[in-house]
Amino acid sequence: MISDPFFYFCAIPAVLLFGMAKGGLGGGLAVLSVPILSLVVSPLQGAAIMLPILMVMDAVAVWSFRRDWSRANIRATLPGAVAGIAVGALTFPYLSEDAVKVLVGLLSVVFSIDYWLRKPPTVAAGVSHVKGNFWGMVSGFSSFGIHAGGTPISVYLLPQRMDKQQLMGTFAVFFAVVNVVKLIPYTLLGQFSTENLLTSLVLMPVAPLGVLFGYRVLSRISTTLVYQLSYGFLVVVGAKLLWEGVAGLL
């Protein structure tokens, strides 16, 4: 188990932020968690430590939103997500974390700027298996490496302008399945060392607190504000990922 106090000084806020995102405050918050952990451990170790914790968060989030999620969108995105995880696992020895950051960051920034500058469409986007599986695949791939899957799947889900409860419920169910699937390649690739698992266990009690806090805040704010926060976090975190990725590649 990691015993460095500075690690927990960084890890506890990272876990709380991820939980708040899953509870309803937007996927952009979640992307901040692995970079925070990267201050004290390698990104890959940080991702391995976070995965069991995310599964606890998923259980709380799915229970909280159990009546509010889009079955049609789950059917339209999960096959692509599983394919993306498989691609991530197969390319793991050659996976450039910086390249993933550039891809996810660029897509996030372009999509967010388009939202803020363009006049909102009068008709919400509909469910699309083509778009859903494409963005699901990008989400599964980026989620495998740096748990940044919330950003790509937001590109697909946000234009549908669902009710805030249904939007967050769909996120919750999607990532609950994605994270269970990721257990298989993570185990085969030896990511779950005794040190990582014990560290996850120590941090696990913090996980439900963040989810429940995010869920309570969600019930007190408007759907418009939820979308504004989601797009706002998307552009900020996208810019951060893009900057880090380009800097790492140069």
Q: What is the DSSP letter of 123?
A: S
Most confident of 11-15, 84-88, 93-97: 84-88
50 pLDDT above the threshold of 70: yes
Q: Which residues contact 212 (CB under 8 A, 6 or more apart)?
A: 19, 23, 60, 64
Decide: 34 and 53 in contact? Cβ < 8 Å.
no
Q: How confident is the model at residue 2 (pLDDT cuts 50, 70, 90)?
A: confident
Amino acid at 194: T
Distance separating alpha carbons of residues 241 and 247, to the nearest angstrom: 10
The label of the residue with tokens 């509909």 reads 126
Helices (H), 124-222: 129-146, 150-157, 164-188, 194-203, 206-218
Amino acid at 232: G
27 pLDDT above the threshold of 60: no
**What is the DSSP code string of 20-52?**
HIIIII-HHHHHTHHHHHTTTS-HHHHHHHHHH
Q: Which residues contact 43 (CB under 8 A, 6 or more apart)?
A: 34, 35, 37, 97, 146
Decide: 7 and 45 in contact? Cβ < 8 Å.
no
Q: At what angle do helices 129-146 and 71-90 cross, to 10 degrees?
A: 50
For 100-114, write each residue's pLDDT tens digit.
677 767 776 776 776
What is the pTM (predicted TM-score) of this model?
0.76
Output the six-digit token pair for 121: 């469409």
Strand, helix or coil for residue 172:
helix
For 11-20, write each residue's pLDDT tens digit.
888 888 777 7
**Among 42, 46, 61, which residue's Cα sits nearest to residue 15?**
46
32 pLDDT above the threshold of 80: no
Decide: 140 and 84 in contact? Cβ < 8 Å.
yes
The Cα diameter of the chain in Å comes to 54
190 pLDDT above the threshold of 90: no
> How many CB atoms are located within 10 Å of the residue 30 CB?
29
For 135-148, write each residue's pLDDT tens digit.
999 999 888 876 77
pLDDT confidence of residue 53: 87
Output the six-digit token pair for 4: 């460095």
Mean pLDDT, the chain, integer? 80
